[in-house]
Amino acid sequence: MSYLFTSESVSEGHPDKVADQISDALIDHFLAFDSESKVACETLVTTGQVVLAGEVKSNAYLDVQKIARDTINKIGYTKSEYMFDGNSCGVFSAIHEQSEDINRGVDRASKEEQGAGDQGMMFGYATRETDNYMPLALDLSHRILKELADLRRENKDITYIRPDSKSQVTIEYSDDNIPQRIDAIVVSTQHDDFDEDEVMLTKIRKDIVSILIPRVVAKLPEHIQALFNDQITYHINPTGKFVIGGPHGDTGLTGRKIIVDTYGGKGGHGGGAFSGKDPSKVDRSAAYATRHIAKNMVAAGICDELLVQVSYAIGVVEPTSIYVDTYGTCPFNITDGEIASKIRGIFDMRPAAIEERLKLRQPMYSETAAYGHMGRKNETVSKTFSQPNGDDLTMDVELFTWEKLDYVDKVKKAFDL
């Protein structure tokens, strides 16, 4: 019997994502001026107010207020009627020095012996369902909101959109886990006020279905386009009016959208957030490393779907466990336990080795803080950072290194393929 599976996404203007983006902008600036910075930074946003809190060990000195305001303005909160804008909101900083009790478990005389920044388990996942090895429902949810943000910034075909929005996609699958069709799409978007509510709702629903969705579909591969038809149930701003939104409508906090950040409910998640943490925190770095493993393993043909779990003890160099689940999709006569054992020999999972392999000491994190940390495009971009003394630093940064398929040949060799 067929079944339905659903994933959601939220836009860069969602209050929790505003908080994530501020936290990661701070991480990037610390790493740009001191690549060995240790940072755990949380952000709270609400009506007209930003609160920064956390622990830092760094030689860099930053204007954290300016970084927060620049991030908010870039997202699009630039008008007083939003009740939250980058130029006028208050920014309070309670950032202080990192605890020596934590740092002593991480820093070692030899970089290679760096301990894990915390205990816990992290998951990576990959599937052949899409070209970027991501679950389809989440991939489509992200695409809808990225296209909606493009429409907002173009300010041509749709002129009334505000930054806060959410999406959700439900897909019907066959018994053998093959997507059959799109069953339902939910889009809730913040908007300017209208004179008449019914006129507003009619226009928004029409524009989403006739302008936004066709733009999304046009950029998809043909076999995914075929899943869209006129039987899709659309829920467009189902509560009606959505003028009050963003941090004025809901308080936002760093790390509250971890399922949006990863696999949309497929695979697994260890529970730790990513944004605001430097790569010594294995919550972040090991989650990227396990995604890198899962994607390269699936791309190498070991299986069609793979979940990888790794766990650590704080201050301990080697992981306490590595586990895999191929969901019965491995065509070879090899157990999941044997696959996990081989992974240990292919991928060095010590924290320092992960940082080096994936180049995680770069200021590469602002781009991760909206529309998902996984399934993104690996590319090199030029970024400029500023210090309070007026010194600018421009550098090339490689983004989403964990999405590279650079270990496929090594995997094939290890499995004699």
Domain 3-10+136-245 has CATH 3.40.190.10: no
Cα(45)–Cα(75) distance, integer angstroms = 14
Cα(415)–Cα(350) distance, integer angstroms = 22
As a residue count, the chain comes to 417
Annotated binding site for L-methionine: 55, 98, 250, 281
Annotated binding site for K(+): 42
Q: Which CATH class is domain 120-127+281-414?
A: alpha beta
Q: 68, 254 in Cβ contact below 8 A?
A: no
One-character DSSP codes across 13-80: TSHHHHHHHHHHHHHHHHHHH-TT-EEEEEEEEETTEEEEEEEEE-S----HHHHHHHHHHHHT---G
Q: What's 2's DSSP letter?
A: -
Half-sphere exposure for 417 (CA within 13 Å, toward CB):
18
Q: Kindly give the confidence (pLDDT) of every residue in the chain, 417 residues in length, as a single tens digit, with 9 standing for 90 and above.
A: 899 999 999 999 999 999 999 999 999 999 999 999 999 999 999 999 999 999 999 999 999 999 999 999 999 999 999 999 999 999 999 999 876 655 555 655 556 667 787 889 999 999 999 999 999 999 999 999 999 999 999 999 999 999 999 999 999 999 999 999 999 999 999 999 998 889 999 999 999 999 999 999 999 999 999 999 999 999 999 998 999 999 999 999 999 999 999 999 999 999 999 999 999 999 999 999 999 999 999 999 999 999 999 999 998 999 999 999 999 999 999 999 999 999 999 999 999 999 999 999 999 999 999 999 999 999 999 999 998 888 899 999 999 999 999 999 999 999 998
Q: 171, 182 in Cβ contact below 8 A?
A: yes
379-386/120-127 β-pairing = unpaired
Q: Torsions phi, psi of 30, nearest 5?
A: -60, -45
Q: What is the pTM of this model?
A: 0.95
Cα(326)–Cα(323) distance, integer angstroms = 10
With 0-12 CB in 10 A as exposed, 13-18 as middle and 19+ as buried, what is 383?
middle
Annotated binding site for ATP: 14, 164-166, 241-242, 250, 256-257, 273, 277
At 151 the three-state DSSP class reads: helix
Annotated binding site: 14, 16, 42, 55, 98, 164-166, 241-242, 250, 256-257, 273, 277, 281
Chain position carrying tokens 């908007």: 191
- Asked whether the domain spanning 120-127+281-414 has the same topology as the one spanning 3-10+136-245, the reply is yes
Domain ranges in the chain are: 3-10+136-245, 120-127+281-414
Which CA distances in Å does 1 have to 137, 176, 328?
A: 19, 9, 19
Query: Looking at the DSSP assignment, which residues form a beta bridge with residue 123?
Result: 309
Helix (H) or strand (E) holding 195: none
Cα 106 versus chain centre, distance: 25
Angle at 218 between CA 15 and CA 174, to 5 degrees: 85
Annotated binding site for Mg(2+): 16
